[in-house]
Amino acid sequence: MIRTIFWFVSFALYQIMSLSFLLKYKVLVKMKKEEEAKKYLFKVTSRWARYMIKTTGSKVNVTGINNIPEDEAVLFVSNHQGNFDIPLLLGYIPRNIGFVAKVELQKVPIVSTWMKLINCVFINRKDTRQSLEAIINGIKYLKKGHSMVLFPEGTRSKGDKVNDFKAGSMKMALKSKVKVIPVTIDGSYKMLEKNGRITKTTVNIVIHQPIETASLTKEEEKELHNNLKTIISR
């Protein structure tokens, strides 16, 4: 319980402190120092994410970093075990990334501001039209050279089982023609969902080899979501 209280207090204080970081970022943008602003945004968000993981007392092991292509946008497709998956990937994937996230996160003060800055798109799965618009925005970001993260299960599994991937979730990859990088997260549900409180554990992240989407046949496109699930479930 003490660790849980400490984590939530740390989370709240860091959000308040991040307002000064936000001000500096906006100054850089106003001065048209776009590249510097981009690097600063990555620095701030990745440090925040790692700090949020560190305060749980957990250890994170990452393998396959070399599988991430340099200088091109990719779509990371990951299983979704728990609430800590976003900070885990934000902190341990060494590049600017946006997320396809649930619309409820737009209501979280300060956090939602930072999420918009890193080009996250928010999906309301109860609103088909809004969901389609969000996916289209995600495709636009990918085509502009900004990498994205997608959780095709659509919701947290809250365990080690990988649920079925939604076939429609592959539209971002197939329409943008970027490479897809499967990612396996193992153990993140133990940080909160398993016991209902912040718990120290070990999380393993595996970044698999990229999959080309530009040259897939129609049949391969139809099976892409199943093939990705097979790779991620190994």
What rounded mean pLDDT belongs to the chain? 93
In the predicted model, is pLDDT for residue 91 greater than 90?
A: yes
pLDDT, tens digit (0-9, with 9 covering 90-100), for 128-164 = 888 889 999 999 999 999 999 999 998 899 999 999 9
Position 130 scores a pLDDT of 87
The answer to whether 65 and 206 have CB atoms below 8 angstroms apart is no
Q: Is the pLDDT of residue 1 over 90?
A: no
Percent residues over pLDDT 70 in the chain: 100
pLDDT at 193 over 80: yes
Mean pLDDT confidence for 82-110: 94
Q: How far apart are CA 44 and CA 208, in angstroms?
A: 26
Confidence band of 61 (pLDDT split at 50, 70, 90): very high
Q: Provide the 10 A C-beta neighbour count for residue 40.
A: 17
Which backbone phi and psi does 15 adopt, to 5 degrees?
Answer: -65, -45
pTM of the model: 0.93
CB 180 within 8 A of CB 174: no
Judging by DSSP bridges, how do beta strands 179-186 and 202-207 pair with one another? antiparallel
CATH homologous superfamily of 57-233? Glycerol-3-phosphate (1)-acyltransferase (3.40.1130.10)
pLDDT the model gives residue 148: 97
Is residue 202 over pLDDT 80?
Answer: yes
User: By mean pLDDT, which of 88-102, 103-117, 157-171 is the weakest?
Assistant: 157-171
- Phi, psi at residue 184, to the nearest 5°? -110, 125
Q: Give the model's confidence band at 78: pLDDT under 50 very low, under 70 low, under 90 confident, else very high.
A: very high
What is the arithmetic mean of pLDDT over 210-234?
92
Task: List phi, psi (to 5°) of 83.
Answer: -65, -20
Relative to beta strand 74-78, strand 97-102 is: unpaired
Residue 23 has pLDDT above 90, yes or no: yes
Concatenate the DSSP letters of all residues of 115-135 into one string: HHHTT-EEE-TT-HHHHHHHH
User: Residue 76: pLDDT above 90?
Assistant: yes
Residue 211 DSSP code = B
pLDDT of residue 127 exceeding 90, the answer is no
Position 185 scores a pLDDT of: 98
- Domain coordinates in residue numbering, the chain: 57-233
Q: Tokens 């049949």 belong to which residue?
A: 219
